[in-house]
Structure 1
Amino acid sequence: MTTGRPQFGIDTAQHQQTWAQLLEHVRFAEDAGFDGIWLFDHFKALYGDPNGPCLEAWTLLAALAAATTRIRLGPMVTGMTYRHPSMLAMEAVTVDHVSGGRVELAVGAAWFEQEHRELGF
């Protein structure tokens, strides 16, 4: 049986948002007491303007780790077909060091076929 208080996080899909907007949302979540912030691991926007901003998840997680102090960070799911496993491991370890141990890692199958075709995966 798990004890303790429930934990709450926010999914802040980073497409159609600028760095400044994302940083504002994440800092708000941290100040409001949320426990985690989760990004999606895609390289193009899934809705809205296909040419709109869509910041890469692991680079963005490193930047957010440096800009926050308490909130846990991670991808909702990292698509295993996007990166070699050893590259993903190094990215996660790097962000974990930058964040002081606040990274949550979730991995799974990447499903967006169009994205795979366009990026040559």
Structure 2
Amino acid sequence: MTSRPVRIGIQLAPQHATYSKIRDTVVELEQLGADILFNWDHFYPLSGDPDGMHFESWTELASWAEITSRVEFGALVNCNSYRNPDLQADMARTIDHISAGDSGVGRFIFGTGSGWFERDYDEYGYEFGTPGQRLDALADALPRIESRWGKLNPAPTRDIPILIGGAGEKKTLRIVAQHADIWHSFVSAADLPRKLDILREHGEAVGRDISEIELSNEPRVKDLRIADDLRAQGVTLFTLGISGPDYPLDTVKEWLAWRDAQNG
């Protein structure tokens, strides 16, 4: 794999908190030195009170573009089913420009996936379908998104990085090989070599060198020894999830110190 610095991404679940608390935490995380900030693209909480406070992903991200100046950011991950692909491209381009500031270079990461949370679909009137149908829709959407970026005026400020989440071997990893700049998963260090072999096969089939793809992982157990093992397998982007109402930062600070030690 290409040598890359270790980066830390923090996913702020947009649930059980006021927007002012989310905003203040975003600002604090940038000041602490986080590399990337994520939210998620759902309409209801995924933990705690299922009818608790919750905010929509894309409008929140547009706000983050204004209140930050350095950190990259995006959804972990956007649900492809909820918005027309060309609209997604235009929204991403617009947030890219909002985040560019004086540098003229945007900081938005287009994280996307096929969707899975059935309540979102039922409550908001989207067709849930099957996992295979949703993955096929994602495979169809990404070329449209990339094509639309080439047609928009003004164009995006940079080649917007595409992050794709998931580890399905037949469809998801092929989509990753074709389109992703970052592959995100929860795969363990023990299973990662086999997944990478499969990703490499898909890369060969589509003419892609997978060393171009940054490996992102969220360890299910927040143990730095597990992070060391994943790092040895080539993972360079590590994500941690925090949730309202309080968004505790002690673990974040430990992982940022570990990152700094890894990067020398």
Give the TM-score normalised by structure 1: 0.93
- Whether 1:21 and 2:21 are equivalent positions in the alignment is yes
Q: Which amino acid aligns with 1:30?
A: E
Distance 1:36 1:118 in 2: 30
Distance 2:77 2:67 in 1: 22
TM alignment of 1:79-90, pairs within 5 A = 79-90=79-90
> What's 2:70 paired with?
70
Distance 1:69 1:114 in 2: 35
- Whether 1:33 and 2:38 are equivalent positions in the alignment is no
Q: Which amino acid aligns with 1:91?
A: M
Q: Which moved more, 1:3-12 or 1:28-37?
A: 3-12
Task: Give per-residue Cα distances to partners, 1:62-120, cap 9 Å, x unaligned.
Answer: 00110010010100011111111011111111111101110001211110112201110
Q: Which amino acid aligns with 1:96?
A: D
| Residues paired across the two proteins, number | 121
Deviation at 1:4, TM superposition (A): 4.4
> What's 1:111 paired with?
116
Q: Which amino acid aligns with 1:7?
A: R
User: Larger Rg: 1 or 2?
Assistant: 2
Distance 1:11 1:107 in 2: 14
Distance 1:63 1:93 in 2: 14
> What's 1:95 paired with?
95
> What's 1:8 paired with?
8
Distance 1:42 1:35 in 2: 23
Distance 1:16 1:88 in 2: 26
Distance 1:109 1:5 in 2: 29
Matched residues, percent identical? Answer: 37
Distance 1:4 1:50 in 2: 39
Distance 2:89 2:12 in 1: 23
Cα pair distance change 1:4/1:113, threshold 3 Å: closer
Give the TM-score normalised by structure 2: 0.44
- Whether 1:57 and 2:57 are equivalent positions in the alignment is yes
> Which segments of 5 or more consecutive residues in structure 2 lack a partner in the other structure?
101-105, 127-264
Over the aligned positions, Cα root-mean-square deviation in angstroms equals: 1.2
TM alignment of 1:36-47, pairs within 5 A = 36-47=36-47
Q: Which moved more, 1:4-13 or 1:61-70?
A: 4-13
Deviation at 1:23, TM superposition (A): 1.0
